[in-house]
Amino acid sequence: MNKTDNSELNKAQFGDNFKWGVSTAAFQIEGAHDADGKGLSIWDVFTSQKGKVKGGHHAMTACDFYSSYKNDILLLGELNIPNFRFSLSWSRILPNGTSPVNQAGIDYYNQVIDFLLECGIEPWITLYHWDLPHELELKGGWTNRDSIAWFENYTEICAQNFGDRVKNWMIINEPSVFTGAGYFLGIHAPGKRGLSNYLKAVHHVTLATTAGAKVLRNIVPDANIGTTFSCTHIEPASTKKRDVAAAKRVDTLLNRTFIEPILGLGYPQADLPVLKKLNRYILPEDEKNMAFDFDFIGLQCYTREIVRASIFTPYVGAALVTAEKRNVPFTEMKWEVYPPSIYHLLKKFDTYKGIKKIIITENGAAFPDTVSNGEVKDNERTKYIQDHLQQLLKAKKEGVKVEGYFVWSLTDNFEWAEGYHTRFGLIYVDFDTQQRIIKQSGQWFRKFLSNHI
């Protein structure tokens, strides 16, 4: 991508109805882990255990969004960002997961929603962004089939309390990441491992996604309902048959396992045989309950992976050839910077007939930002966003139904197992003083959104 291309990039090219925004998540920004009656979440517990998060970082304060939400919402306004995606903390609303309701939690989100609306910013709620109430984890968490009913109950309370003003909803954030990292590999909360934990979680999360969506549809009939999936463009390391087959299995695992059942296509068991082991958890009525007619699908795309066959990895028989090894540019997360990835993924998901509309609900990058003379010159991030927008535009011009783009994230925040080591924000946060500095990428985004480019 050359410079001239990006200098020609402007908001008008995307059309008047295109949704521009930023995304965040409760656990990563709020802090106030035990304020005003909040219960513990699995991430509160996980971060308190030794060796789980880099540098022993925790999120008891994080970005202090709980207290300073007004300040950050004013910054959103300053950046001209019209849509704000944030998640609700289940254990702030239901400290024990099921009942009683913590009125202070409801009041808090009402204040956030009302202030957003007062500032002319549209709220986009994610119901679940990985912070399950700890009390529910003690009962097995997502491995327990009751999790579907727990989630329906939580959704009902959120829909009843916020549905009069909030019209854009996402049910679950990136199921493949939190089931894989949290229930198979044990590197995210709740730190469970093994195939049976993973498969049970996969199936219950799938059913909870559509069950939650149905509850929301009944209570807020005019809601714009979506759910989000992490997706990664996959390519084989060579044209050898075994590498091509390995790439297909990884693509199935990462990109197809969750979306296909909700589109009524069932689990893609033919292309990833280990998913046949899900059958022992599938009840006769599940097949029809797994599907829902979503208004939009949120795709969250950061990178691509190159895959080769490997007999050492159980179940998928594949290994990733890292960006470092391939000697290509990568971010602080060690993820390759490969903008065409978003184009390929948009084209791929657009081929599913059941998807009415796609919104990129996350895209962004971590780079080693430094403050110098009160400024953060994060040119790499600006270029990353611009290059991805060019690729999105290319797909849109070819007819892909992509109707929105949300940057991850508004501010630097708590990046799960990486703690505060990796910064994704358009706004820099000094975590000792909570001071904010709008980075150059944020300044660029502001100009872009104001049609000044």
Residues near ligand BGC, by CB under 6 A? 25, 28, 173-174, 177, 230, 300, 362, 408, 415, 424
Q: Which CA distances in Å does 50 have to 54, 58, 181, 187?
A: 10, 11, 17, 12
Name which of 177 and 282 has its Cβ closer to ligand BGC: 177
Binding site annotation covers 169?
no
CB contact set of 382 (below 8 Å; sequence gap of 6+) = 440, 441, 444
- What's the CA dihedral at 180, 186, 191, 193 to 10 degrees? 80
Q: Considering the complex, what minimum distance in angstroms separates the CB of residue 41 from ligand BGC?
A: 14
Return the structure tokens found at 116: 């957003």
Q: How far is residue 367's CA from residue 421's CA, in Å, rounded to a whole number?
A: 10
Q: Which CA distances in Å does 261 have to 94, 206, 282?
A: 29, 8, 12
Name which of 128 and 150 has its Cβ closer to ligand BGC: 128
Q: Considering the complex, what minimum distance in angstroms separates the CB of residue 28 from ligand BGC?
A: 6
Name which of 260 and 362 has its Cβ closer to ligand BGC: 362
Binding site annotation covers 103?
no
Name which of 137 and 415 has its Cβ closer to ligand BGC: 415
Q: Which CA distances in Å does 384 have to 19, 340, 388, 396, 421?
A: 19, 11, 6, 18, 19
Name which of 128 and 445 has its Cβ closer to ligand BGC: 128
CB 25 within 8 A of CB 87: yes
Return the structure tokens found at 113: 């929603």
Binding site annotation covers 150?
no
For the annotated catalytic residues, the residue numbers are 174, 362
Binding site annotation covers 335?
no
Q: Considering the complex, what minimum distance in angstroms separates the CB of residue 87 from ligand BGC?
A: 9
Burial grade of 411 (CB within 10 A; 0-12, 13-18, 19 or more):
buried
Q: Considering the complex, what minimum distance in angstroms separates the CB of residue 419 from ligand BGC?
A: 12
Q: Considering the complex, what minimum distance in angstroms separates the CB of residue 287 from ligand BGC?
A: 28
Binding site annotation covers 122?
no
Binding site annotation covers 343?
no
Burial grade of 339 (CB within 10 A; 0-12, 13-18, 19 or more):
buried
Return the structure tokens found at 29: 């920004």
What are the binding residues? Answer: 28, 129, 173, 302, 408, 415-416
What are the binding residues for substrate? Answer: 28, 129, 173, 302, 408, 415-416
